[in-house]
Amino acid sequence: MGDSYDPFFSWKALAWPEQCRAIAAGQLPWPVQMTVYPTNRCNRNCRGCIMAAERQNGAELSENVFASLVDEANLLGVASMHIAGGGEPTLYQPLRHVARFRGTAVLSTNGTFLSRRICSWFKRVRVSVNAGSPRTYAEFTGTSEDAYRQLVCRLVNACERPRPWDIGLGMIADRQSPEDIARFVALADHVGADWVHIRPVYYPRGTPEAEDVVRNWPGISGAALEAGRTSRCRVFCVSDKFSGYWSARDYLKCRATPLVAVVCADARLAVCQDVFTKWGDLNTQSFAAAWTSDEHYAAMRQIDLDACPRCIMNRHNEVLEHAFVNNECLLEVL
């Protein structure tokens, strides 16, 4: 039973009933989470990167904006802050300000500059490795086999116990072989990681690459789970973000975006982590002013489910529509 309740549990929106009831009533609560892309600079060129277009502008939050954002998140009672990219967040020099965040801070990184000092600012660290060997790492990231070996050394250091942070390795599954999947899980064991997280790569719907992912995913996830049978670390294969993309969505309207604020490296807010309809400017206004602005409401109205890519808010939208708007679950009856 314990394996069913983990950090990748997809029904988490049920833990935030006040926010969900407010959204169902047409109100705009403060977000549960802030996802912040502090920089668009990156030292990798990974295959299938969903941020490839966003990275073109090379934008970066000013130190004043980032420090103020952390303080405002504390003031508003934001529960978690996910630092990701964009680009590679550990390239961002003012990242240290996240240590002042009073909620749960999470880092997604490619690990190139990872240190125990950086890890100490976070509750959870996810390192995107995406490969199980020097050769496949070089192919996926556009770097060298030596870069893989250097990364392994940093991972060993970051995973060494004792440590207060939770750390795992991530793989964006594309066309990796079952053998490479097994080597990836074995790498996590070797460095002392707590878990591995494997999800499908995103390609635009209808493309040959997307069809390959749909076809390959059962074999990839099966190989990972099989490798996990003898692994010390936990193996999570997570594809619920794609269930409304590979198949028909099980909701009629997107309502979940207010649960997570997305702050981009150009100091603007995006409507979600998959749709970069933007508004506001944190260089000239507070987060609270941008969040409650008419521009935000207008951005949410522009969401077109038929045009949306895979949805990181997919399960949250199901919870909102079926449990809180329609109350099909009779939540009051235990």
Query: What pLDDT digit, counting tens, does each position of 226-281 carry?
Result: 999 989 999 999 887 777 777 778 999 999 999 999 999 999 999 998 888 999 99
Write down the mean pLDDT value for the chain. Answer: 92
pLDDT band at 24 (very low <50, low <70, confident <90, very high): very high
Q: Determine the pLDDT at residue 1.
A: 31
pLDDT band at 290 (very low <50, low <70, confident <90, very high): very high
Average pLDDT of 199-204? Answer: 84
- Quick check: 3 pLDDT over 60? no
pLDDT band at 125 (very low <50, low <70, confident <90, very high): very high
In the block, which residue shows the tokens 């935030």?
16
Q: Determine the pLDDT at residue 51.
A: 73
- Separation between Cα atoms, residue 320 and residue 21, nearest integer Å: 8
Query: What pLDDT digit, counting tens, does each position of 41-64 carry?
Result: 998 888 777 776 777 778 999 999
Domain 32-109+252-326: give its CATH superfamily: Aldolase class I (3.20.20.70)
pTM given for the model = 0.94
Number of H helices, E strands in the chain: 10, 10
Name the nearest CA neighbour of 66 among 88, 42, 99, 44: 99
Name the nearest CA neighbour of 311 among 202, 178, 237, 180: 202
CATH of domain 126-238: 3.30.750
pLDDT band at 206 (very low <50, low <70, confident <90, very high): confident
Name the nearest CA neighbour of 79 among 260, 265, 312, 279: 260
- Separation between Cα atoms, residue 110 and residue 118, nearest integer Å: 13
Q: Report domain extents, the chain.
A: 32-109+252-326, 126-238
